[in-house]
Amino acid sequence: MNHVFPPFEPESPTGSGKSPRKGRSIGFRGREIPVRLLIPSMFTLLALCAGLTAIRMAIEHRFDIAIAAIVLAAVLDGLDGRVARLLKASSRFGAELDSLADFVNFGVAPAIIVFTWALDGLRSMGWIVVLVFSVCAALRLARFNVALDADEPDWKGDYFVGVPAPAGALIVMLPLYLEGMGVPGVGAFTPLILAYTLGIALLMVSFVPTYSGKLFGQRVAREYVLPVFVLGALFVAVLLTYPYITMTVGTLLYLAVIPLSFMSYRKRETEFAQAAKSQNGSKKRKRTPPPEQPGAQA
């Protein structure tokens, strides 16, 4: 008797009968799946549940919980990939699931939050803008997935092309953070909120380079381990105690760093081009035959 559910194939499409792509190992043999292969996808599904909860909270006008759910989804999204690499459990299935969850969490949920909070009074115009935001998030994620297979210099891995979807979802809610801080009448400035939402949407699909987390490295010197622990605990404590102030400061700092990342990218791009040009020039000089001497015999 056949099983009700098809077997879990993290690398190849179900029922295709094709073997995994060359160079990719599934990491198991036989009919049983190691539990470690399921853990990253569980993080992704938890993030998806947080994003869907944010949508419900926005519909019920409980915006503080909706914002917290988006922040939780962003934290889980940052963990699932790292957990997958740590456990050596990366798979095509997990990558596709992560992209689908990211679109809901950072493309749909923030758009509904902003619309129900301030832009529903503009009716069609407000809805068009949040639609543009969601579409830009989808295009941003699709472009990111395609760029994974591109052959680029190693230094470009330190930058994202455009604002990543999780960052876009968090910074687009800046007006809500300001209202949570007690700034009066923020929700009444709907034209500014409209323009701001549209601007963040365009930043996601732009070619403006932004810093990635790889610049901070993946290793910590021994003497800095304890300070890192203290700073991490301090950040969590401040975020839980003063959430709106923390999110506002973080958003403003992120927006202020974008011009710096652009200048840094241009500088490294120029240095890379000059190094490649000088290297090509040295190769050409080595290949140039020496000039013939006068009176030399043929």
The DSSP line for 144-171 is: HHHHTTS---GGGGGEEES--HHHHHHH
What's the mean pLDDT when you consider all of the chain? Answer: 82
Distance (Å, whole) CA 76 – CA 50: 9
pTM, full prediction: 0.80
Higher pLDDT, 151 or 57: 57
The pLDDT of residue 17 is above 50: no
Helices and strands per DSSP (H, E), number in the chain: 10, 2
Q: How do residues 260-270 score in pLDDT, each as one tens digit?
A: 998 988 888 88
* Range among 181-190, 203-212, 221-230 rated most confident: 203-212
Distance CA 109, CA 69 (A): 10
pLDDT tens digits for range 22-62:
334 444 455 677 788 888 889 999 999 999 999 999 999 99
> In the chain, what's the furthest Cα-to-Cα distance?
95
At 288 the pLDDT is 56
Task: Compute the distance between CA of residue 283 and CA of residue 158 in angstroms, rounded to an integer.
Answer: 29
Tokens linked to 214: 């790889």
The structure tokens listed for 20 are 């995994």
Cα angle value 238/244/246 (rounded, 5°): 40
**Cβ proximity of 67 and 113 under 8 Å:** yes
The domain ranges of the chain are 35-218+229-273
Segment 77-85 shows an average pLDDT of 85
Contact status, residue 94 vs residue 71, Cβ threshold 8 Å: no
Q: How far apart are CA 66 and CA 110, in angstroms?
A: 9
Superfamily of domain 35-218+229-273: CDP-alcohol phosphotransferase transmembrane (TM) domain (1.20.120.1760)
